């Protein structure tokens, strides 16, 4: 490959040597020397043109690499980090043995994943869920923050199916366990943690909007990729969980 790149120089040297020898031996006339000279100049011109093309390609490549370096150095666009919340419907819980969910009412989230939660308990896993206390003052705060201060009954209506479904899940039995806690404050974020203590763990953090009905962004974090913020929100989950009141149901 390197020989081909230097072919113009090799040809030029060979022609010059041949013409020089022929001239010394008086075997080449002026026309031959002139023709050989023109041919040599043509080879040199072609080599120079090829070098210019290669130089332009090299400059273009360097420019692209510099642009790529600048883009990599800049923080990624928010649209690449945040997606629209789907109440966890697109989160894969298959095979999970440790599922934790924290939120306000979690009506849709728990309903969407009822089957997977049941499977987790049956294979000996742990399901932990924390929602706001339906009997506390926090439910009024949740309604106020949603922009509907008079909608306390709506939040209570959303909470009850969540608690009933979790109660049924716990009553179904299995080697695993279901734990439910009630919060006396409205959490700033919703967190869905899947096998959070394992290398393949992932967290899905819903950033709540002030008014109900607005689109809410969700941030997905992976244990192996996002170590700093993954650990931050994992710790946040545990802090919120620790502050909750254990829901104890009276035996039927």
Tens digits of residue pLDDT in 178-204: 999 999 999 999 999 999 999 999 999
Query: Do residues 178 and 169 touch, judged by C-beta distance below 8 A?
Result: yes
Selection from 82, 101, 69, 67 nearest residue 196 by Cα: 101
Selection from 203, 250, 200 nearest residue 224 by Cα: 200
* Beta strand 98-102 pairing with 189-194: antiparallel
Contacts of 70 (CB under 8 A, 6+ apart): none
Question: pLDDT, tens digit, for every residue of 72-127?
Answer: 666 666 566 666 666 666 788 999 999 999 999 999 999 999 999 999 999 999 99
More reliable by pLDDT, 214 or 4: 214
Q: Within a 10 A sphere around the Cβ of 28, how many other Cβ atoms?
A: 18
Query: Do residues 159 and 132 touch, judged by C-beta distance below 8 A?
Result: yes
Q: Which of the four pLDDT bands, split at 50, 70 and 90, describes residue 31?
A: low
Distance CA 49, CA 57 (A): 12
More reliable by pLDDT, 16 or 170: 170
pLDDT at 227 over 80: yes
Return mean pLDDT, the chain.
Answer: 82
Q: What is the per-residue pLDDT for 84?
A: 67
């Amino acid at each position: 490959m390197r020989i081909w790149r230097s072919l113009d120089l090799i040809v030029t040297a060979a022609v010059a040597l041949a013409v020089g020898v022929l001239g010394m031996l008086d075997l080449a006339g002026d026309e031959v020397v002139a023709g050989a000279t023109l041919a040599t100049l043509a080879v040199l011109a072609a080599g120079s043109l090829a070098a210019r093309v290669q130089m332009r390609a090299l400059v273009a490549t360097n420019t692209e690499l510099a642009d790529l370096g600048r883009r990599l150095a800049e923080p990624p666009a928010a649209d690449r980090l945040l997606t629209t919340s789907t109440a966890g419907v697109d989160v894969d819980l298959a095979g999970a043995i440790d599922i934790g969910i924290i939120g306000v009412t979690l009506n849709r989230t728990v309903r969407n994943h009822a089957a997977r939660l049941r499977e987790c308990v049956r294979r000996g896993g742990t399901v932990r869920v924390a929602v706001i206390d339906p009997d506390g003052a926090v439910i009024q705060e949740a309604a106020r923050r949603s922009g509907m201060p008079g909608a306390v009954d709506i939040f209570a209506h959303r909470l009850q199916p969540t608690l009933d479904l979790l109660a049924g899940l716990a009553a179904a039995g299995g080697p695993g366990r279901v734990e439910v806690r009630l919060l006396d404050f409205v959490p700033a974020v919703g967190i869905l943690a899947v096998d959070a203590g394992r290398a393949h763990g992932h967290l899905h953090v819903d950033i709540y909007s002030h008014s109900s009905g607005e689109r809410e962004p969700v941030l997905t974090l992976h244990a192996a990729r996002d170590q700093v913020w993954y650990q931050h929100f994992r710790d946040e989950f545990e802090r919120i969980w620790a502050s909750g009141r254990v829901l104890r149901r009276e035996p039927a």
